[in-house]
Amino acid sequence: MAGTARTSGIVLLALVASAACVTLRSAPALAAAEPGRALTLVIDHGAKIAIRRAPAGRTLAVAGWKTPFGSVRRLRVVERRGNWFAVESDVLENGVVGWVPVTAAVRMRKVRYGVEADLSQRLLTLRENGRIVFRRRVSIGASDSPTPSGRFHVTDHVPGTRWGLGCCIVVISGNQPRLPAGWNGGDRLAVHGPPGSRQTIGTPASAGCLHATERTLRALARLPLGTPVVIHP
């Protein structure tokens, strides 16, 4: 990493091409993740889905069936109007909601888990069917590269040992709009371990990602793709 000793979401994320899109409407006000009531749309093998500005509106972005890391892509449902779903996606900017129709190319899946991160308290909460499984301390972005708040979801699970980022990297759908000067590790957000042997849990130490302990990472690595992640300021 050039120009900084901090590690954010994912050194390997230089592989990710940023998705350009215009700002539409903001997602609804942040609320707790809603496991049990939340839905994700799973895109079928080989399919591509047009995400539109409004129901039956112009195409905003196209979501293929695979993420840049090779996982089957999910679209997080935040609203439904008749035969249209409002979704957030890794191919849209933070806070942007697009619309996709009910189609044979997507399958609906219920979500029973939810993750919340409270940046002010530096706490991560995992829930199952609304019940708290655990609350644990995490590191957040430093003052010049703060972790963005918003509504996201888990897109990929990637081994972290190759990059010295703990056992597991949990990639989420958001991007870091305020990268540190000289940063060349990509802009996707993730939860992973502190770089090397540094003990930074509970401090503002990253380039935007959340740093967690091995114990926490191993639990998060078992979460299904599409699990909602809400990051509160």
pLDDT of residue 176: 93
pLDDT of residue 14: 32
Q: How far apart are CA 203 and CA 94, in angstroms?
A: 24
Q: How much is the pTM?
A: 0.85
Which domains does the chain carry?
11-18+113-232 (2.40.440.10), 38-111 (2.30.30.40)
pLDDT of residue 181: 81
pLDDT of residue 12: 40
Phi and psi at residue 105, in whole multiples of 5°?
-85, -5
pLDDT of residue 198: 64
pLDDT in tens, the chain (233 residues): 333 344 444 444 433 322 222 223 334 444 444 444 689 999 999 999 999 999 999 999 999 999 999 999 999 999 999 999 999 999 999 999 999 998 889 999 999 999 999 999 999 999 999 999 999 999 999 999 999 999 999 999 999 998 899 999 999 999 999 988 877 778 999 999 998 656 789 999 899 999 999 999 999 999 999 999 999 99
Phi and psi at residue 161, in whole multiples of 5°?
-65, -35
Amino acid in position 154: V
